[in-house]
Structure 1
Amino acid sequence: MSLLGKAAVAMWWSVRPEQRAEFGDWHSREHFLERMSIPGFRRGSRWTSTTDAEGFFVLYELEQYDVFTSRGYLDRLNAPTPWSTKMMPHHLGMVRSQCRIAASFGGGGATSLATVRLSPETSRETALQTHLSETLRTLAQQPGLTGAHLLLTDTPRTNSPTTEQQIRGADGAADWIVLLSGYDPDVVERVTADQLSPSALDAAGTRDNPTTGRYRLAFTMTPQDVAEV
């Protein structure tokens, strides 16, 4: 799949087993509808970790980067519903990155996803970005895969944490993010362990040992779905 728009929110967190059923209901039946009603939100997807029983990855795709500072988005972040206020403390180990989409290749849906969080060596940012863009363009055309993307975290400057952030506590943030999606989980796994392995990425100019996650699709929604509810 190619990403919709020019910006994205990429998030990782854990939910304990005793909270997962209510979390799924809240996130699917209220929170996604709320987010997809914000002008500029194009698509949301939630992915369940296949290696961590408590882990999730969520991606919101935005039309433009300035949606991050829009009144519609900030008003929502500062006025959580009662159900959101109840559920936010159960988002454990939150890593939340507001990103510009630097490269996006592919088309079609996906059921499997790998995420790679990485940081460039200080003197090799340009060369690494070029290398990753070229690699991802090629990978997106490979049978079994549907998309390959590069996101660069660019956190907007704000005066204070939003109400939702205050409820959760301090969020972490990724630096650069690679997403690899596909309809064949074996291909996603093989490519992640080969061209996108820590050793391959280190050789291309990353530092601090990239972090890889593997996921299956749990839920997705677009603004058109909200209109039909």
Structure 2
Amino acid sequence: MPIQGQAAMLLTFDIVEEAIIEHDDWHTHEHLPERLSIPGFLRGTRWVATGGAPRYLVLYEVERLETLASPGYLERLNNPSPWTQKMMLHYHGMTRGLCSVVSSHGHGMGHMGWLLRFKPGQGKDAALESWLSQELLPRLPEQRGLSSAHLLRSGLTPEMTAEQRIRGADTGVDWALLVTGYERAAVAGVGQSELGAAALERHGATGVAGAGYEAVHALTAADMRA
């Protein structure tokens, strides 16, 4: 399946405007290499909003959910580098989900993406998951302009760590859906039609929020070994 591994960490956040250039430098040259050197981390991708907010989406694909509570990962979170400590002060509106990959379809990752975050209504979990995983998502990557579709669901509650204390408490993620493709219009179109708020709400979703993104940098564990 397109997502590497059985789990993923999904982050969305904003950075104060005057720190954006330094943030992207730090995230590319220190932070992603640091994270991808942790055992079990397979690929990290940074995306920037093309419409909507927050500005940033970061997706880490990992071997299994337990990777996101491993000693190696927690050691880094509790011992941030001086540059990381500086950059954490510029974060705001952080959402952070330690998620299981419920369903993942397609071939690879397109560079355009549409992210949806939502919750199932009371008693709607099974029906909503069935519709998404079995009916809708498998056929989306076959459409012109689209590449893949991924359903993520919260699986762990993050611990409070030194990094989080600097930037402030994170908000969790319940369910999230990421559709990727190679044509911006096609990705945005499906995000506003078949995966629009009205369609999701008809099948039991609540609190639907969506935004478009473009992938700007990616790093894999294989890159680090090379």
Query: TM-score, normalized by length of structure 1?
Result: 0.95
Task: Report if aligned partners of 1:17, 1:54 keep a CA contact under 8 Å in 2.
Answer: no
Q: Are residues 1:48 and 2:39 paired?
A: no
Amino acid at match of 2:222: Q
Task: Report if aligned partners of 1:114, 1:181 keep a CA contact under 8 Å in 2.
Answer: yes
Local SS of the residue matching 1:143: coil
**CA displacement, residues 65-92 of structure 1 (integer Å, 9 cap, x when unaligned):** 1102211111111110000000012111
Amino acid at match of 1:215: Y
CA distance in 2, matches of 1:51, 1:207: 21
Q: Decide whether aligned partners of structure 1 residues 52 and 204 sit closer, same or farther in structure 2, where only a CA change above 3 A counts.
A: closer
> CA shift at 1:9, angstroms?
0.5
Among the aligned pairs, what percent are the same residue? 39
Query: TM-score, normalized by length of structure 2?
Result: 0.96
State the aligned residue count.
225
Partner residue in 1 for 2:12: 12
CA distance in 1, matches of 2:127, 2:53: 36
> CA shift at 1:225, angstroms?
1.6
Partner residue in 2 for 1:88: 88
Task: Report if aligned partners of 2:98, 2:158 keep a CA contact under 8 Å in 1.
Answer: no
Task: Report if aligned partners of 1:49, 1:55 keep a CA contact under 8 Å in 2.
Answer: yes
Q: Mind listing any 5+ residue stretches in structure 1 that lack a counterpart?
A: none
Partner residue in 1 for 2:212: 214
Worse overlay, 51-60 or 198-207: 51-60
Partner residue in 2 for 1:223: 221
> CA shift at 1:123, angstroms?
1.1
Partner residue in 2 for 1:141: 142
Q: Mind listing any 5+ residue stretches in structure 2 that lack a counterpart?
A: none
Task: Report if aligned partners of 1:69, 1:156 keep a CA contact under 8 Å in 2.
Answer: no
Partner residue in 1 for 2:118: 118
CA distance in 2, matches of 1:218, 1:23: 13
Computed over aligned residues only, the root mean square deviation of the Cα atoms, in angstroms, reads 1.4
Partner residue in 1 for 2:189: 190
CA distance in 2, matches of 1:21, 1:141: 37
